[in-house]
Homo-oligomer: A and B are copies of this chain.
Amino acid sequence: MQVLKERILREGRNLGRGILKVDSFINHQVDPQLMVDVGRELARRFASFNVTKVLTAEISGIAPALTTALALGVPIVYARKTRPITMTNGTYRQTAPSHTKGKTVELMVSVEFLGPGDRVLIVDDFLATGRTIEALVRIVEMSGATLVGIGTVIEKAFEGGRERLSHLGVPIESLVVITDMSDGRIIFAE
């Protein structure tokens, strides 16, 4: 996705240790039209998979997941990291270590919103180590739903997420793939 590459090169900042700052257009300030374009492209790639729900994790997955779900015409469910008082029924719960938060986070999805009839596309802003997405996959499995694919906006290929998730046997689509962030660079896959 060329427009995304250009935006990363223009506004993204390599903070070292594999950390990419894209908070001017993805995860603090957000460009809504770019998110709509991102959602349309992810939806296009999974158009033939009969997706019934898009699943993501709060917080920064919400924007691209919402626009993907909009383009697919299905609901989005975002896993909560803290239990709101309105979450009164049973939940599927899994934990994942968070790279950017420096601690373990819990992910919770109400049993009401995911079940055996669902065909789930997981969407997140980043594919890095894949551990957050792995926790979402376990939630899909707990619910009896079928995982049909994984879509992310930016993949950091050098953090091994794709390898970690490859045993799932579902397509993994990332709109841009970064292969190298050493020495302050941001190198994209061809």
Contacts and interface: CB of A to CB of B under 8 A. Distances in A.
Interface of A: 15, 19-25, 27-33, 35-36, 58-59, 62-63, 66-67, 69-70, 73-78, 80, 82, 84-88, 100-102, 109-110, 112-113
29 contacts: A15-B85, A15-B86, A15-B88, A19-B85, A21-B86, A21-B88, A22-B86, A23-B84, A23-B113, A24-B112, A28-B80, A28-B84, A29-B77, A29-B110, A30-B66, A30-B75, A30-B76, A31-B75, A32-B67, A32-B69, A32-B75, A33-B73, A35-B66, A58-B58, A59-B62, A59-B78, A62-B66, A84-B101, A86-B100
A93 to B, nearest CB: 14
A67 B39 CA distance: 13
Given A36-B70, A63-B66, A23 B86 contact: yes
A178 to B, nearest CB: 15
A69 B30 CA distance: 9
B100 A84 contact: yes
Contacts of A27: 84, 86
Given A58-B59, A59-B59, A73-B33, A28 B82 contact: no
B23 A110 contact: yes
A101 B83 CA distance: 8
Given A19-B86, A86-B100, 15 more contacts: A20-B86, A23-B86, A28-B80, A28-B86, A29-B77, A30-B66, A30-B77, A32-B66, A33-B70, A33-B73, A35-B70, A59-B62, A59-B80, A62-B63, A66-B66
A87 B28 contact: yes
Contacts of A113: 23-24, 28-29
A69 to B, nearest CB: 5
A70 B66 CA distance: 12
